[in-house]
Structure 1
Amino acid sequence: MKLTRRTILAAACSAAVLAQPMAAAAQDLPRNVRLVIGSNSTGGDTYQAAAIVAEALSERLGVNIKVDAVGPSEAFKAVGRDKRGTTIMLHHDQSYLANLYGVPGNPDPFEGYVVGPSLTINPGNAYLVPKNSPYQTMDDVLNAAAEGTRVRVAIQPGGVSEIGYTALRNAARMNAAGSEENIVPVNTGSQSDKNQAMFDGLADIINGSIQANEQFAQLPDDDQKAMRFLWITATPEVLQQGPEAGVGNLTRADMLQYAAPQTSVKLTETEDFTFDKRFFLIYNKDMDPAQMQTVDDALAAIYQKGDIQKRMLEAFFIPAYLPMTESAELLKGKRDAYGAIIEALKAPQ
């Protein structure tokens, strides 16, 4: 085809029309966006998930998104005072669990904020024991508590660590009323602190993760740091979506042995407790709804394309996009269900 001035102009107009939806959407957001996360670590799963999402959104919308690891309290403050859309928050279930547990500086994200789209799930939340532990199964733990043995569980209070501990106490109460008092917390901080509590003999069980603790499960039995998995809280449906090879020497089939229903920690007489650690966005309650919709639309297009799923699976995240309305509904349901467990344990039997 001969390139004339008319054909060049026609081609340019066509390209402009095709570019308009993305350009118009990008205009709804500021040029520079700060993505604050509910973690102080730049090496943890929250930062990793945020970095993957920020890069994809930046490329899709043509804006600059910087991930800022400030911790939950500061993240809520930052997004709470910025209604212009220049600050968005990314966190996981701890954002409402900490509020349920009454941790200072952790407001209810469903009250003073807008819960946005869900992004991904880390299926790695786990509980481990030393390799020389007498506890081979979770039933061993519950039976020991029923027989009067104190079982010390290292957790970081007020969130993902504690909800599994709470579920364990609930299961102990169901197994033998009063035995939940023998499931006692060892309150620590980071994952390294929980690991150290086990190394020092201060905890019988620790909360950990597949990604952080699988390396210790590979150590020989006589190594002081050797651990083994006892319980993985993720639903089997989520674990099934992960790579068959798993992480390190822990295959997907291995993981499923530690998860419900093979490993059962009862929530009710007919239902096992499960917990999927889900990451999602949180907005200022007065942020322009058009800006929120811009993010939703961009994420829908990103996940439809499929590249982000590959990146997440390589990092052992399970892609789990839900638009804002569906996400908020699902997370409210989780909040209410876990809140009921927490309240039930406060009440006398």
Structure 2
Amino acid sequence: MTFTRRTILAAVSATALLAQPIAAAAQELPRNVRLVIGSTSTGGDTYQNSSIVADALAEHLDINIKVDAVGATEAFKALERDSRGTTLMIFHDQSYLGNLYGVSGYDDPFENYTVGPTVAINPGNAYLVPKSSEYQSMDDILTAAENGERVRVAIQPGGVSEIGFSAMKNAAAVRSPGSEENIVAVNTGSQSDKNQAMWDDLADVINGSIQANEQFTQLPEDDQKAMRFVWITARPATLEQAPEQGMGETDRAALMQYAAPETSVPLNEEGENFTFDKEFFFLFNPEMDPAIIEQIDTALAEIFENGEIQERQKASFFIPNFLPSGEAQQHLMDKRDTYEQVISEISGES
């Protein structure tokens, strides 16, 4: 075989090309994505909110996203196993509150995962009393604690349900040091368990939500199941964004009477009120390609710019709240630091 100069040069060029490292293409979300959530309920707010976001993201990117309600422990495990982007997670403030309260299975999400964009707020976190209760307001409850009365509060320990209880104890301590000992927890499970604790006269106050409990506030006072709101923890600026018609038979103006500043639960002696917005956000495997996070941020920015998802969220009494990953991480860490201080104050650890 005769090798010409041109043939040799071509062979050398080809060999050199093969020897060069191939530039890696930016990774993107795969065609089929599993979106695990920190709840086992397919009827709760986490599933509802995640489904709205998943549907919008799947349509925008032309991929398939399946929401899988596996609960917090299993969701975190699934996320740990998959760095390819085929498994993503949506949860809410419970992800870091569980860690602050020392709940088993809750690692620090800011250290062990990548916190992604926020997508919505549920402004409905609330506290209620029986409609026949002598307590007409949070002021009545805190005054009762000051006067030595034992106030029993039904909560599901270790997260969103408990943070308001911690705030009550903190407020009692701010108003009258020592009276926080009279605010006591009745640890239960689901919302139905908390409701039942009230109906069985095992609790004077329960943690609930606008969505789950508003129906009971419409019952006549002589009905055993009748309740009354005394506190909604959402920031007033958040609740103001809710639909004017509110929820059920209670309009937005009526709901805002139970939120700050009309209802005061002191955070400190400077007069600042405790508030809490239940926010939903993405969590990613820490080794997942940053290009996928950028793709999700970009897609969500375009989806929220379009405006259709906001209508779907508000129809389900969610407040649209998109922040891209970088902003979301800082915002949520600031929230975590505030609530960590509240928890440490009432635990005597500060």
SS where residue 56 of structure 2 aligns? helix
Determine the structure 1 residue equivalent to 2:319. Answer: 318
- 1: CA distance between counterparts of 2:199 and 2:28? 52
Structure 2 residue 331 is the aligned partner of structure 1 residue 339:
no
Determine the structure 1 residue equivalent to 2:33. Answer: 33
Structure 2 residue 295 is the aligned partner of structure 1 residue 274:
no
The Cα shift of 1:81 comes to 1.2
Letter in 2 for 1:88: L
> 1:210-221, aligned counterparts within 5 Å?
210-221=210-221
SS where residue 258 of structure 1 aligns? coil
- 2: CA distance between counterparts of 1:79 and 1:319? 25
Letter in 2 for 1:347: G
- 1: CA distance between counterparts of 2:92 and 2:212? 18
- 2: CA distance between counterparts of 1:192 and 1:55? 29
Q: What are the Cα deviations for residues 236-274 of structure 1, in whole angstroms up to 9, with x where unaligned?
A: 101111111100111110111000000000001220000
- 2: CA distance between counterparts of 1:190 and 1:128? 15
- 1: CA distance between counterparts of 2:125 and 2:338? 18
The Cα shift of 1:348 comes to 7.3
The Cα shift of 1:80 comes to 1.1
- 2: CA distance between counterparts of 1:58 and 1:29? 10
Q: What are the Cα deviations for residues 129-188 of structure 1, in whole angstroms up to 9, with x where unaligned?
A: 000000001111011011111100000001011000000000001111111011000001
> 1:214-233, aligned counterparts within 5 Å?
214-233=214-233
The Cα shift of 1:77 comes to 0.8
Structure 2 residue 251 is the aligned partner of structure 1 residue 251:
yes
Letter in 2 for 1:341: V
- 1: CA distance between counterparts of 2:344 and 2:242? 33
Determine the structure 1 residue equivalent to 2:124. Answer: 124
Q: What are the Cα deviations for residues 45-94 of structure 1, in whole angstroms up to 9, with x where unaligned?
A: 00000000000000000111000001111111110111000100100000
- 2: CA distance between counterparts of 1:129 and 1:144? 14
- 1: CA distance between counterparts of 2:214 and 2:229? 8
Letter in 2 for 1:288: D
The Cα shift of 1:333 comes to 0.2
Determine the structure 2 residue equivalent to 1:327. Answer: 328
SS where residue 95 of structure 1 aligns? helix
SS where residue 111 of structure 1 aligns? helix
Q: How many residue pairs get matched? A: 325
Structure 2 residue 66 is the aligned partner of structure 1 residue 66:
yes
Determine the structure 2 residue equivalent to 1:238. Answer: 238
Letter in 2 for 1:309: Q
Change in Cα spacing, 1:36 to 1:145, as seen in structure 2 (3 Å) is: same
Structure 1 residues not aligned, in runs of 5+ = 1-23
Give the superposed CA RMSD: 1.2
Q: What are the Cα deviations for residues 173-232 of structure 1, in whole angstroms up to 9, with x where unaligned?
A: 111111101100000110000001001100000000000000000111110000010000
Letter in 1 for 2:203: A
- 1: CA distance between counterparts of 2:328 and 2:206? 30
- 2: CA distance between counterparts of 1:348 and 1:151? 23
- 1: CA distance between counterparts of 2:137 and 2:284? 41
Structure 2 residues not aligned, in runs of 5+ = 1-24
- Once structures 1 and 2 are overlaid, which stretch shifts more, 119-128 or 72-81? 72-81
- 2: CA distance between counterparts of 1:177 and 1:348? 15
Runs of 4+ in 1 over 3 A off after TM superposition: none
* Larger-Rg structure: 2
Determine the structure 1 residue equivalent to 2:181. Answer: 181
- 1: CA distance between counterparts of 2:141 and 2:314? 33
SS where residue 79 of structure 2 aligns? helix
Structure 2 residue 209 is the aligned partner of structure 1 residue 204:
no
Letter in 1 for 2:324: P
SS where residue 88 of structure 1 aligns? strand
SS where residue 110 of structure 1 aligns? helix
> 1:59-208, aligned counterparts within 5 Å?
59-208=59-208
- 2: CA distance between counterparts of 1:109 and 1:320? 20
- 2: CA distance between counterparts of 1:139 and 1:315? 31
- 2: CA distance between counterparts of 1:122 and 1:146? 32
- 1: CA distance between counterparts of 2:56 and 2:347? 43
- 1: CA distance between counterparts of 2:142 and 2:225? 24
The Cα shift of 1:342 comes to 0.7
- 1: CA distance between counterparts of 2:244 and 2:349? 44
Letter in 2 for 1:171: A
Letter in 2 for 1:317: F
Letter in 1 for 2:240: Q
SS where residue 49 of structure 1 aligns? helix
Q: TM-score, with normalisation over the residues of structure 1?
A: 0.92
Q: TM-score, with normalisation over the residues of structure 2?
A: 0.91
Structure 2 residue 286 is the aligned partner of structure 1 residue 285:
yes
Q: What are the Cα deviations for residues 254-296 of structure 1, in whole angstroms up to 9, with x where unaligned?
A: 1110000000000012200000000000000000000111111
